[in-house]
């Protein structure tokens, strides 16, 4: 049985950069007084849904999410502004 | 800029488009790059009214260039691996342009590196207005997948996508339309017939066409992948598969040949002939293979009979083939897959899966093939 790997800080940075790059995660600006699902968790769930992964909103559940993020891939369709 | 692509679905308002190759990668000869780019555009021309003309000066609709890190747009590349390329949706100026990360190793045909044809065909999908698809078999799926350019056929998902923007190719020969676009199998299709099933180091692998579903204890949804994404030189549309817990390899069978993989790696000396197991020459393919953990024997099913192979001695057992129904109650016909799971033996026969107690041969349940695919 695969040994659950701890999530390192590098993993978290990588995941955030991945979600910014490919799933429009935006920097949170303004007062953060509202409680609710964090934008990172929300985008992570969106990414897991897109790839047919187990939807947990976190990186800790299994390696599949992190493995998928590490795969070579194509950039999203860009729009000239 | 982030919201632009949500509000409109840009497409070219003309069918005749121009392209220009601004520079080259040192990884490939200029003729290989030219050929790869031309073929990649032809993939889309084959199924739409779009036609592409190469120009050598001025500004083309689709400008093609290789660059690394910051390369003149707001989207720097990231060095080797990671992002391989990106492209701009149809629009004047930068729109339609495709940029390739020069820090990658691009190749013409081999799967050591990234096949430029495959990367370019994907990026030109963006250049024409497509966004990413979540169909793992689609060309527009965001993760790179190796395919042999010589046998590549644009999948159905991509054909539907591009034709929803531009319509079909009016010049397609109705008498000889060419190969059917491949579709991606659905694990919860009630008519699903699996090619093979195997364990793999604690996971279950269900094979169908060029795909497999991978299911492991913690997952609730099986993960679908292309077989060649996992094992680049493995066969697709296989006949049988099993994991030899004796040699810690997974073996895939297709026709008279068998491939063995240790993890991701093809074991030296494979593929080899199935006769290397001692099967008679008259056996041209096997229908299913099952490794019995308790006895250390592998059962090879051929038609309505089966052979028994001793993994330790590497010899075929005497007294075989036997009729399958001599051991498995009611199993009188050909099988499509066989495997063991949690101590029970499952034998797939078309859309149904028969659950047996192998020691007694008694039939315990009749299930649907997709029973273990968590539908």
Q: Tell me which residues of chain B, numbers 9 to 38, contact chain A at a CB-CB cutoff of 8 Å.
A: 10
Tell me if chain B has a CB within 8 Å of the CB of A74.
Answer: yes
- Across the interface, whether the CB atoms of A77 and B119 are under 8 A apart is answered no
Distances (CA, A) of B91 to A79, B13, B240, B371: 8, 10, 49, 48
- Across the interface, whether the CB atoms of A53 and B126 are under 8 A apart is answered no
**Mean of the per-residue pLDDT values of chain B:** 93
Both structure tokens of B361: 């041969």
Global ipTM: 0.84
Both structure tokens of B322: 């036997």
Q: Closest to A79 (Cβ–Cβ): which among B5, B81, B218?
A: B5
Is there a contact between B252 and B238 (Cβ–Cβ < 8 Å)? yes
Inform me whether the pLDDT recorded for B1 exceeds 50.
Answer: no
CA-nearest of B207, B28, B181, B210 to B119 is B28
Contacts of B1 in chain A (CB under 8 A): 79, 81
Inform me whether the pLDDT recorded for B6 exceeds 80.
Answer: no
Tell me if chain B has a CB within 8 Å of the CB of A2.
Answer: yes
Is there a contact between B329 and B363 (Cβ–Cβ < 8 Å)? yes
Instruction: For chains A and B, count residue pairs whose Cβ atoms are closer than 8 Å.
Output: 99
Categorize the per-residue pLDDT at A1 as very low, low, confident or very high, splitting at 50, 70 and 90. very low
With b for 16 or more beta-carbon neighbours within 10 A and e for fewer, the A17-48 pattern comes to: ebbebbeebeeeeeeeeeeeeeebeebbbbbb
With b for 16 or more beta-carbon neighbours within 10 A and e for fewer, the B269-284 pattern comes to: ebbeebeebebeeebe
Alpha helices in B188-267 (DSSP H): 227-230
Catalytic residue among B32, B123, B243, B294: B123
Cα distance from A12 to chain B (closest Cα, Å)? Answer: 16
Element at B81 (helix H, strand E): none
What is the model's pLDDT at position B2? 47
Q: Name the percent of chain A lying above pLDDT 90.
A: 31
What is the model's pLDDT at position A29? 56
Averaged pLDDT for residues B168-173: 93
- Across the interface, whether the CB atoms of A80 and B95 are under 8 A apart is answered yes
Q: Which residue has the higher pLDDT, B223 or B152?
A: B152
pLDDT in tens, A14-47: 999 999 989 988 876 555 555 567 888 999 999 9
- Across the interface, whether the CB atoms of A77 and B130 are under 8 A apart is answered yes
Cα distance from A20 to chain B (closest Cα, Å)? Answer: 11
Substitution target from B11, B71, B116, B132 for chain A, most A beta carbons within 10 A:
B132
What is the model's pLDDT at position B35? 98
CA distance B146 to B122: 12
Q: Is B180 one of the catalytic residues?
A: no
pLDDT in tens, B220-242: 678 888 898 889 889 999 999 99
Inform me whether the pLDDT recorded for B368 exceeds 80.
Answer: yes
CA distance B367 to B347: 10
Tell me whether residue B241 is exposed, middle or buried, using C-beta atoms within 10 angstroms of its C-beta: 0 to 12, 13 to 18, 19 or more.
buried
- Across the interface, whether the CB atoms of B144 and A62 are under 8 A apart is answered no
Tell me if chain A has a CB within 8 Å of the CB of B128.
Answer: no
Inform me whether the pLDDT recorded for B264 exceeds 50.
Answer: yes
Q: Closest to B134 (Cβ–Cβ): which among A51, A79, A80?
A: A51
Tell me if chain B has a CB within 8 Å of the CB of A1.
Answer: yes
Averaged pLDDT for residues A47-67: 84
Contacts of B104 in chain A (CB under 8 A): 72
pLDDT in tens, B173-200: 888 888 999 999 998 888 899 999 999 9
Closest chain B CA to residue A65: B223
Contacts of A51 in chain B (CB under 8 A): 134
Contacts of A2 in chain B (CB under 8 A): 202, 216, 218
């Amino acid at each position: 049985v695969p040994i659950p790997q701890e999530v390192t800080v590098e993993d978290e940075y990588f995941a955030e950069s991945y979600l910014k790059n490919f799933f429009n995660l935006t920097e949170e600006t303004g007062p953060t007084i509202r409680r609710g699902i964090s934008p990172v968790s929300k985008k992570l769930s969106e990414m897991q849904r897109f790839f047919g992964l187990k939807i947990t909103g976190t990186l800790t559940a299994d390696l599949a999410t992190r493995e998928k993020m590490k795969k070579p891939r194509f950039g999203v369709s860009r729009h000239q502004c | 800029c982030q919201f632009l692509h949500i509000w409109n679905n840009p497409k070219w308002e003309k069918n005749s488009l121009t392209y220009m190759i601004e520079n080259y990668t040192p990884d490939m000869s200029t003729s290989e790059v030219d050929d790869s780019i031309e073929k990649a555009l032809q993939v889309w021309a084959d199924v739409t009214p779009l036609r592409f003309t190469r120009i050598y000066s001025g500004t083309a609709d689709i400008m093609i260039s290789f660059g690394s890190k910051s390369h003149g747009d707001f989207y720097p590349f990231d060095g080797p691996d990671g992002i391989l390329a990106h492209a701009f949706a149809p629009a004047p100026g930068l729109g339609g342009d495709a940029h390739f990360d020069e820090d990658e190793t691009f190749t013409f045909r081999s799967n050591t590196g990234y096949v430029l044809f495959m990367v370019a065909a994907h990026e030109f999908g963006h250049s024409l207005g497509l966004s990413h698809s979540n169909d793992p078999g689609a060309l527009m799926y965001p993760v790179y997948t190796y395919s042999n350019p010589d046998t590549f056929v644009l999948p159905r998902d991509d054909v539907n996508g591009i034709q929803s923007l531009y319509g079909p190719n009016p010049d397609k020969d109705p008498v000889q339309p060419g190969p059917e676009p491949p579709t991606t199998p659905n694990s919860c299709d009630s008519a699903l017939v699996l090619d093979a099933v195997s364990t793999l180091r604690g996971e279950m692998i269900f094979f169908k066409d060029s795909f497999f579903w991978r299911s492991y204890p913690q997952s609730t949804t099986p993960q679908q992948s292309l077989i060649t994404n996992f094992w680049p030189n493995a066969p697709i549309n296989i006949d049988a598969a099993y994991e030899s817990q004796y040699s810690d390899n997974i073996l895939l069978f297709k026709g008279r040949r068998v491939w063995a993989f240790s993890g991701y790696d093809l074991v030296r000396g494979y593929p080899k002939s199935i006769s290397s197991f001692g099967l008679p020459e008259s056996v041209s393919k096997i229908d299913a293979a099952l490794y019995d953990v308790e006895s250390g024997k592998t059962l090879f099913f051929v038609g309505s009979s089966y052979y028994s192979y001793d993994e330790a001695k590497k010899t075929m057992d005497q007294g075989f083939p036997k009729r399958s129904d001599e051991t498995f109650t009611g199993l009188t016909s050909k099988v499509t897959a066989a495997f063991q799971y949690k101590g029970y033996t499952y034998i797939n026969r078309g859309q149904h899966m028969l659950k047996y107690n192998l020691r007694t041969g008694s039939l315990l349940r009749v299930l649907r093939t997709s029973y273990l695919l968590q539908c």
